[in-house]
Amino acid sequence: MAEPVVRIPDAKVALSTASVYPESTATAFEIAARLGYDGVEVMVWTDPVSQDIEALRRLSDYHRIPILAVHAPCLLITQRVWSTDPWTKLQRARAAAEKLGAGTVVVHPPFRWQRQYARDFVAGIWRMANETDVRFAVENMYPWRYRDREMLAYAPDWDVTKDDYRHFTIDLSHTATARADAVQMVDRMGDRLGHVHLADGRGSAKDEHLVPGRGNQPCAEVLERLALTGFDGHVVIEVNTRRAMSGAEREADLAEALAFTRLHLASAVKVPRP
């Protein structure tokens, strides 16, 4: 006879500091600790604290919340953060991760106009991955759309599974914007999937980052699949709370996202009775 049991993978659930914007990086640590997240992912952006390793270490120690990942400054608004040279940005992100005890650096593929960087990107990421125990997890992106026009803004490709990387990040808000099948992308990533940005979307041309369960992405199915396959990476809540009318409303959204994630990571499986 086999009886159903609940199996929960070793994956930790973290809060991206981007999820509290326009509040500060420091606020994200406070909220993550209060709500019971397992850790944080630091989005390195224009907030000076997000760029300061010692300040981040003090926040981590004070709130007793580990830093599990560092998101390199790859956004348009962070083009001058940690240098204008993209490889220097990644080197500094790796150094920060190593000093802070984070296991993963999240990186976007280059913008298409960063021609030399894009040309060397795949080989360069492999080279950097071979120099550290930190995972460089390259994140899927999406085409940019305006009305009926589509622009391919990323190179070598927004669909990172078309290239050879050691580790991937899947972002379910980005699969929504790309109108891609998230489950099929997870399958293509296979055992190289090392990191998850959990959010939802409805297929808008804008990258929505909704609370999981509020869009049309298979967030629950993906989490359940991770549980069944013994996923041991990190699941990071990266949602947009800019429209929250108060701190209490923002925290309620982040608590809901955490509860959703933990519920669907707890997967019922059948095991033989001893």
Domain residues of the chain, as ranges? 8-264
Across the 274 residues of the chain, what is the mean pLDDT of every consecutive 10-residue run? Answer: 61 96 97 98 97 98 98 91 95 98 98 96 97 97 85 94 97 97 97 97 93 97 91 96 94 98 77 50
Crossing angle of helices 247-265 and 219-228, in 10° steps, is 40
User: What is the structure's pLDDT at 6?
Assistant: 62
Q: Full-prediction pTM beyond 0.85?
A: yes
Provide the pLDDT for residue 79: 87
End-to-end distance of the chain based on CA atoms, in angstroms?
Answer: 9
Count of Cβ atoms closer than 10 Å to residue 270 Cβ: 10
Compute the residue count for the chain: 274
**How many Å apart are CA 18 and CA 41, to the nearest integer?**
9
Q: Which residues contact 140 (CB under 8 A, 6 or more apart)?
A: 158, 159, 160, 161, 168, 169, 170, 171, 174, 175, 178, 180, 185
DSSP 215: S
Output helix, strand, coil percentages for the chain, rounded to the nearest 5: 40, 20, 35
Confidence (pLDDT) at 10: 77
Beta carbons of 158 and 178 less than 8 angstroms apart: yes
pLDDT of residue 5: 60
Fold of 8-264: TIM Barrel (3.20.20)
Quote the tokens at residue 186: 């997870």
**Token pair recorded at residue 151:** 């622009």
Give the pLDDT score at 219: 97
